[in-house]
Chains A and B, each alone.
Chain A
Amino acid sequence: MTYASKYKSTDEAKVISDCIRNKSKAKEYLFKQYAPYLYTICRRYETNDCQADDCLQDVFIKIFDKIHLFNSNKGTLKSWLSRLTVNHALNKITRQKINWTSLDISSSEIFDLANEEEAAYQEISEESILNYISQLPLGYKTVFNLYAIEAKSHAEIAKILNISISTSKSQLFKARRMLKEMITKKVNVSYGG
């Protein structure tokens, strides 16, 4: 019996309880169901595919180890898995030495950046966006991911990464500027072609 025929999408509670009982089929089902989604998160925080693969494996070890702690009353399985993956990536990042340089950026610069003309993001594939993000320096990338995708405030980011709020703002500013440059160049090139 394959995992697909044994479990249906509505059987989430059953899958979780079987994973707690260390049932291989349930683990396989959960892995295949959520791996592509969690892999995206890993790719956003890691530099290359190899690192993202390792990240995914480590995350699933953690997931199967802690799945008994999942409480469906506190949120969906998907958000719990997502949180676990982000935390895993952040733990790895905070163990590394990052040069959190802070630039003096004026309010007007931030305002200009925030209100400049929209780029053609609808025209770019998700894969390309992920590639651009992964090319950012670690500090820029981390703050950008937390701010832009995880929707954290600068105060929250500062607390998570143990940096100052101004450093968080400065890192985000540089990340946005660098992303804009990469995307504009790429778009112009592709459009130019």
Chain B
Amino acid sequence: MADKDINIIRDRLKEYKSPMDADKAWSSYEKSQVKKIGLIKLITKIAFIPIILIIGIFTWNTLNDSTPQKSENRTAKTLANASETLTNKSEFNKKREDKLQNIVAENNIISIKEANTNKSNEVDIKRTVILNDGINKLGQIANSNILLPNNRISENSVLISEDKELSANKIIQKREPTEPIKSNKQDPKLITNEAEITTQDTTLFKDNSAHLIDKQFNLDSTGISTSIILQNIDSGWKRHTIALQYNLGISESGGLSLVSTSKIRNSGTTGGGWRPHGHQSLVLGYTYKVTKRISVQSSLLVGMGYLNGKQEFTYSGTSSSTAPSSGEELAIRVRQSEYGAEISAIATILQYGKLKTQAGLGLSARTFELNYTAGPNTSITGINDPIGPGESSTFKDQTAATHGILRLKYELPPEGLSLNISGIYQRGGKYDRHSIRSGISYSF
């Protein structure tokens, strides 16, 4: 085959269109696609429901790490730790006193104010966690009454406030001997004996409803939406929620939504950071299109939460003969349950290019129950029903509220992706809440 032949073949085939029945080819292509897409859609639609539930359960169990079973296990562990620590402390104090007496004997320069007649090595540590009645406040007061050997009591009160200097998560209580040791040659190790008790803040949350369904999909489309909800109560942005929404488009007039939310909190203080909140909820919603621009959305909410407030302490025994010890102790255990319902009418008020603006009004009602139990060495005060160590109590609350919604939705490429921002103001009962939600949704 000559080079010229190749050029001829190239010229003849380069632009050649094979004779074919394009209509038949298209119809065959469409059929195969409908089958493939239909199957993929069906699998995707079904698969997303357990995925959302699994994510919810995973978040609930793992992040919060405080289901009742785990809570029981944790309590058993912490009690064991605490017991062990107390034993260590007893041994430590015994050795410490022996050492003090040795110093007195050897150097004769240290005098102790009170006669050391009581040889009891018992150490009793009592702590009182006082929770402010003002709900959702980071501020707490923790008192630590420590009975030192020989019945000397050291009282340390630590105010855990919203002061930026203090971490909302960690309180360090330093225990020092009440009786000053008079010495010209003090052993610095003896003076620095201290127990560091770290208390996680155990704020009780009585109002958890940030769950108004915020449906960002076309009614007939199936898709997922993620959003972060910045919620405000009283003053300051205090609690946030991560929500994962799955929308199942049923028809042009309606669609079902399943929303899994997990509350997180960023205290905004040093060392605060993002933390799970111990509350998880599922919302099942239905939206019905009344006219082209108006729809009604309704939802049912089931929320539950567990939270273990723990106190960690490190006993930094500095005596050469005493090993440092540490433990973790339950300060408060909280169990929350919540049921709610809401209905809203939403209207598209403006559509300009890729930007859609919607506004709505609605009603919501919910019932909330909170059970709290104090740890073995903790008293909880500052709430309606103060309780002592190991005691439990319950708080119940019912609220009905009205709300207003403003939504902005901006379509992004590729098709189906959109950026959503919405604001919700809720008023009623004891609480006025407002929240801003921002996230993305993707319809497929």
| A interface list, Cβ under 8 A from B | 20-22, 28, 31-32, 35-37, 39-40, 43-44, 53, 56-57, 60-61, 68, 113-119, 121-122, 126-127, 129-130, 147-149, 151, 176-177, 179-180, 183
Contact indicator B26/A35 (Cβ below 8 Å): yes
A132 to chain B, nearest CB (A): 9
Q: Given that A21-B415, A115-B3 are known contacts, is A126 also in contact with B13, CB under 8 Å in the complex?
A: yes
Q: How far is the CA of A118 from the CA of B1 in the complex (A)?
A: 7
Query: Complex formed: what's the CA distance from A97 to B248 in Å?
Result: 45
Q: 21 A-B pairs, CB-CB below 8 angstroms?
A: A20-B413, A28-B26, A31-B22, A32-B23, A39-B20, A44-B13, A68-B413, A114-B2, A118-B2, A118-B4, A118-B5, A118-B8, A119-B5, A121-B5, A121-B9, A126-B13, A127-B19, A129-B12, A130-B13, A149-B14, A151-B10
Extra inter-chain contacts (15) besides given A20-B414, A35-B26, A116-B2, CB under 8 Å:
A31-B26, A35-B22, A39-B17, A39-B18, A39-B20, A39-B25, A40-B18, A53-B25, A57-B28, A60-B29, A118-B5, A129-B12, A129-B13, A148-B6, A149-B13
Chain B residues with CB under 8 A of A116 = 1-2
**Given contacts A57-B32, A68-B413, A113-B1, A35 and B25 within 8 Å (CB-CB):** yes
Q: Report how far A176 CA is from B437 CA in the complex, Å.
A: 67
Q: Which positions in B face A, CB cutoff 8 Å?
A: 1-6, 8-10, 12-20, 22-23, 25-26, 28-30, 32-33, 413-415
Contact of A40 among B1, B6, B17 (CB under 8 A): B17
CB-CB under 8 A for A36 and B415, given A116-B2, A151-B10: no
What residues of B have a CB within 8 angstroms of the CB of A118 in the complex? 2, 4-5, 8
How far does the alpha carbon of A90 sit from the alpha carbon of B20 in the complex, in Å? 23
Query: How long is the Cα–Cα vector from A22 to B2 in the complex, in angstroms?
Result: 47
B16 touches A40 (CB 8 A): yes
Contacts known (A28-B26, A32-B23, A151-B10); A180 close to B1, Cβ less than 8 A: yes
Residues of B within 8 Å of A119, CB to CB, are 1-2, 5
Give every chain B residue within 8 A of A183 (Cβ-Cβ): 1
- Which residues of the other chain, B, contact A148 by a CB distance below 8 angstroms? 6, 9-10
Choose among A53, A114, A126, A151 the residue that contacts B12 (Cβ–Cβ < 8 A): A126
Q: Identify the interface centre among A149, A151, A177: most chain B CB within 10 Å of its CB.
A: A149
Separation of A40 and B29 alpha carbons in the complex (Å): 17
Q: Contacts of A117 on B, CB cut-off 8 Å?
A: 2
Instruction: Name B's interface SS.
Output: helix
**Partner pick for A36 among B3, B4, B20, B414, CB 8 A cutoff:** B20
Give the complex CA separation of A119 and B9 in angstroms: 11
Given contacts A21-B415, A119-B2, contact A129 B9 (CB under 8 A): yes
Whether B1 lies near A37 (C-beta < 8 A) is: no
Nearest chain B CB to A33 CB, angstrom units: 8
In the bound complex, what is the Cα–Cα distance between A39 and B2 (angstroms)?
Answer: 27
In contact, A149 and B415 (Cβ under 8 angstroms): no
Please state if A36 and B1 are interface contacts (CB–CB under 8 Å).
no
Q: How far is the CA of A117 from the CA of B32 in the complex (A)?
A: 48
CB distance from A7 to the nearest CB of B (A): 14
Nearest-neighbor residue (CB-CB) of A179 within chain B: B1
Closest to A82 in B: B14
Quote the shortest CB–CB distance from A20 to chain B (angstroms).
6
B2 contacts across to A, CB distance below 8 A: 113-119
A149 touches B1 (CB 8 A): no
User: Chain A nearest CB: distance from B24 CB in Å?
Assistant: 10
Give chain A residues whose Cβ lies under 8 Å from the Cβ of B19. 36, 127
Q: Which residues of the partner chain B approach A127 to less than 8 Å between Cβ atoms? A: 18-19
A127→B10 CA distance, assembly (Å) = 13
Q: How far is the CB of A87 from chain B (nearest CB, A)?
A: 17
Alpha-carbon distance A20/B414, docked complex (angstroms): 8
**Which residues of chain A are within 8 angstroms of B10 by Cβ–Cβ distance?**
148-149, 151
- Interfacial chain B residues near A151, Cβ < 8 Å: 10
A147 to B7, CA, bound (A): 10
Inter-chain CA distance A114–B18, complex, in Å, is 29
CA–CA, A119 to B15, complex, Å?
21
Q: Report yes or no: A22 in contact with B1, Cβ–Cβ below 8 A.
A: no
A40: which B residues are within 8 A, CB to CB?
A: 13, 16-18
The 9 closest A-B pairs by CB, nearest first: A36-B17, A176-B1, A32-B22, A180-B1, A121-B8, A39-B18, A40-B18, A148-B6, A126-B16
- How far is it, in angstroms, between the C-alpha of A127 and the C-alpha of B6 when the chains are bound? 16
Q: Which residues of B contact A32 (CB under 8 A)?
A: 22-23, 26
Q: Tell me which of B3, B8, B15 contacts A122 (CB under 8 A).
A: B8
Cα distance, A193 to B12, chains bound together (Å): 25
In the bound assembly, the distance between CA atoms of A53 and B18 in angstroms comes to 12
Contacts of B32 in A (CB 8 A): 57
With both chains docked as a complex, state the minimum distance between the C-beta of A32 and any C-beta of chain B, in angstroms: 4
Instruction: Please measure, in the bound complex, the distance between the C-alpha atom of A183 and the C-alpha atom of B30, giving whole angstroms.
Output: 38
In the bound assembly, the distance between CA atoms of A37 and B15 in angstroms comes to 7
A148 to B415 Cα, complex, angstroms: 40
Closest to A64 in B: B33
Contact of B29 among A31, A68, A149 (CB under 8 A): A31
On whether the beta carbons of B18 and A36 are closer than 8 Å, the reply is: yes
Nearest CB in chain B to that of A113: its residue: B1
Give chain A nearest CB distance to B424 CB in angstroms.
31
B8 touches A114 (CB 8 A): no
Residues of A within 8 A of B5 (CB): 118-119, 121, 180
